[in-house]
Structure 1
Amino acid sequence: MVKAVFLSLAALLAIIAGGAMLWPLLRAGKRAIWGTLVGSIAIATVGLYLWLGTPAALQAPDEAPPQSLEQAVEQLRAVLDEHPERTEGWVLLARSQLELGRVADAAASFERALKLDPDQPELLIEAAQARARAHPKMLFDDTGVEWLQRARKVAPDNQRAIWLIGIVQRQRGQDEAAVRTWESLLPRLEPNAAAALREQIDAARADAGMPPSTPALAPPAAGSAGAHAITVQVTLAPSLQARVAAGKDTLFVIARVPGGPPMPVAVERHPAQAGPLTVTLDDGDSPMPTQKLSALGEVEVFARLSASGTAMRQDGDVESVPVKVVLPAGEPLRITLGQP
């Protein structure tokens, strides 16, 4: 049964990754081609594992079938404790734990995978990002930085590694170094992504006391980034009014790619209040300059009430059901958080 769980999780994550990778096809209206390719990726992933892997090593005949994704993840973890040599098993476990919001567990699972395969660039990058997400202040520690540097040494042209090393440098006040790192990435990016990264470079230049590298941008015209802004009004259900009275909760309004990675493409953070809150999500709210609202045709938007005040989902947080929004959005989106 655990074998079936393992293969089901592998297929699920292959669909998520493949769907995100082939997103431009879906945006271009080629749904049939997109669906066929995503399905092929999932089938190929499972088939390749059955052919090259050792499914019997993950078989536990006496296990009861899992009743939820959480149970499936726990069963997979138990099997990996008995068979810790399976690199792909630890990677699958880590990604599944991320989907469940168990970031610290995911970081530990990625670390186990790295002990088995320490020179795989994408694994090094994923592990470093998970470790940063598990940090109370979302910072890359020395271990995470070492993994990113190793990834760049093994794969010097890896764009994610270069971008994240620039983030590390900014976090540590090394603004001039971040400018050099990100400027080396510019020639490899598409025009829209390069323009977005230049904004971050100019911010780093300003903090380093350097002149801007590009002239100031003109106000957005109709049909540009400004036209892709999303106005969202969030109202708390009566059941949550008493909770926010103490003024300790934080309200996040988040937009992300439907079916894609959990990383937001736009997010705003505000103190929770009893009355309605209206925000406008736009390109300036993107934590990743290489992915902006203005480059997308559809996003899903939701609100989260957080007691911890951190961007990561925690126990006790209240989230609304994600709503898909086709861009550019015509009408403001209204969300009632906490309604049954």
Structure 2
Amino acid sequence: MTTFWFGIAVLTALALFTIWLPFWRRQKALAAASDAQVRKQTNLNLFNERLKELETDLAEGRINEQEFEEFKKELQLNLLQNTDQEDHVLSAKKPSILWPIIMSVALVAVAGYTYYDLGRYSDWQTARVGNDDPHSGMNPEQLMQMRLAQMEQAVQADPSNSQAWFSLGHAYISASQYNKAIKAFDQVMSLVGEHAELLGPKATAMYYLNGQQMNPEIQAIVEQALADDSKDPSTRLLLGMDAFFNANYESAIEHWEIILTSPRQDVDRQAILGAISQARMHLEQGGAMAEPQAEAAQPAAAGGKTVTVTVELADEIKAKANTGDSLFLFARPVSGPAMPVAVARLNVADLPTQVVLDDTTAMSPDMVISAHNQVNLIATINHDGSPAPTPGDLLGELNAVDLGSNVTLVIDTVVE
């Protein structure tokens, strides 16, 4: 925008210079006319003096009549030539300053009106209001795609940049593009070798790609990562989440406590402590969220960054639910990574029940519900006890739920 206004200023200055140039030239001519008047008078004086000298010479006999007439004509011719030049300069009139002033005002007024009324002034004003945030009109998914495109361009420009590939891999996980994330981490390892800090994120991407379930291939990568660094935060975080999802709270606590002993400085210890506290609460309550209404007062102080969910079972599928089955309630971001920002495990026997999802139910140091304005809610009743839905499980969903709201989630679908 500075360049735009600089261009406007330059064009305006050129136009004004064109208007005022004739005035300045005539002013210069007027100054020259004053000098011409002096020169004309000097020439006349010299002519009279020279004529008197000739008359004296004629009277004293130094020249004859014919010579006198010739010299006189020569003097008159010289005087005529000189006075013609000075008369031409003196004929220039004094310029008026009124005309260039009128032209200048008219130029600025017409140009300003044309741009304001017929141009794009209003569009520029609108753009200027939002100029503080050039991406203010983009939704989170568009921002994520823009960020991914920029990072992809960076690795294309420098394929040997291991740090760029590493960042791109994590960005792919956030965008739920797990296949691409795995390839990105493989590319990093081809450049710098296989290390725990790379194997852990790769295993995490494979875990989500596999429906949040472990398999022998993922387990082999996990073991390789732990052999390289037994305290690797990303690997231990994955193992802790998997243990939590499978109601193995003691194992989850063990993995997360190991993270706290890691010398790594990029560990969010407060979030890890919150996850451990959540696991201990589930362990003490036998896997169910006891007295959830009592917890509602706690997150209220967090500025409404909670969701209160009443979970119910639809009448037409009640016969398909066993009272001993586990019920998982997840809150996931509307866009971005599929990793839950809050999770609760209940028992079907407790339905209907009310649950408050807040930061104390987060499963990752970097993924908390308070960082979002909306979430998608998913409730599954799993016959096999795993959090990922399988055929025959029961499912209920609510999309784009505003934080701070109180909603009812009905489990009404049988997974095919």
Aligned-partner Cα distance in 1 for 2:351–2:276: 38
Asked if 1 retains the 8 angstrom alpha-carbon contact of 2:252 and 2:279, the reply is no
Taking the TM superposition and a 5 Å limit, the aligned residue runs for 1:173-188 are 179=257, 181-184=259-262, 187-188=265-266
- Where does residue 295 of structure 1 map in the other structure? 371
Q: Cα–Cα, structure 1 residues 228 and 37, in superposed 2: closer, same or farther, change >3 Å?
A: closer
Asked if 1 retains the 8 angstrom alpha-carbon contact of 2:334 and 2:376, the reply is yes
Deviation at 1:321, TM superposition (A): 3.0
> Quick one: which amino acid aligns to residue 284 of structure 1?
T
Using the size of structure 2 for normalisation, the TM-score is 0.43
Q: Which has the higher contact order (CA 8 A, sep 6+)?
A: 1
> Quick one: which amino acid aligns to residue 305 of structure 1?
I
- The one-character-per-residue Cα deviations of 1:17-55 (angstroms, maximum 9, x if unpaired) are xxxxxxxxxxx99543566643435656888999999xx
Structure with the larger helix share: 2
- Where does residue 50 of structure 2 map in the other structure? none
Deviation at 1:312, TM superposition (A): 1.7
RMSD: 5.3
Deviation at 1:240, TM superposition (A): 0.8
> Quick one: which amino acid aligns to residue 311 of structure 1?
P
- Where does residue 125 of structure 1 map in the other structure? 200
Q: Cα–Cα, structure 1 residues 318 and 260, in superposed 2: closer, same or farther, change >3 Å?
A: farther
- Where does residue 225 of structure 2 map in the other structure? 147
Aligned-partner Cα distance in 2 for 1:52–1:300: 38
Matched, 1:337 2:411: yes
> Quick one: which amino acid aligns to residue 146 of structure 2?
S
SS at match of 2:260: helix
Aligned-partner Cα distance in 1 for 2:379–2:253: 34
Aligned-partner Cα distance in 1 for 2:225–2:318: 44
Deviation at 1:333, TM superposition (A): 0.8
Asked if 1 retains the 8 angstrom alpha-carbon contact of 2:317 and 2:412, the reply is yes
- Where does residue 32 of structure 1 map in the other structure? 137
Q: Cα–Cα, structure 1 residues 320 and 166, in superposed 2: closer, same or farther, change >3 Å?
A: closer
Aligned-partner Cα distance in 2 for 1:122–1:159: 8
Matched, 1:236 2:313: yes
Q: Cα–Cα, structure 1 residues 33 and 159, in superposed 2: closer, same or farther, change >3 Å?
A: farther
Asked if 2 retains the 8 angstrom alpha-carbon contact of 1:166 and 1:179, the reply is no
Aligned-partner Cα distance in 2 for 1:200–1:302: 20
Aligned-partner Cα distance in 2 for 1:314–1:336: 18
Deviation at 1:335, TM superposition (A): 1.4
Aligned-partner Cα distance in 1 for 2:298–2:350: 33
Q: Cα–Cα, structure 1 residues 171 and 146, in superposed 2: closer, same or farther, change >3 Å?
A: farther
Deviation at 1:196, TM superposition (A): 2.3
Aligned-partner Cα distance in 2 for 1:297–1:229: 10
Asked if 2 retains the 8 angstrom alpha-carbon contact of 1:235 and 1:275, the reply is yes
Higher Rg: 2
| Aligned partner of 1:259 among 317, 335, 338 | 335
Q: Cα–Cα, structure 1 residues 298 and 338, in superposed 2: closer, same or farther, change >3 Å?
A: same
Aligned-partner Cα distance in 1 for 2:340–2:377: 10
- Where does residue 195 of structure 1 map in the other structure? 270
SS at match of 2:319: helix
Aligned-partner Cα distance in 2 for 1:289–1:167: 11
Q: Cα–Cα, structure 1 residues 279 and 179, in superposed 2: closer, same or farther, change >3 Å?
A: closer
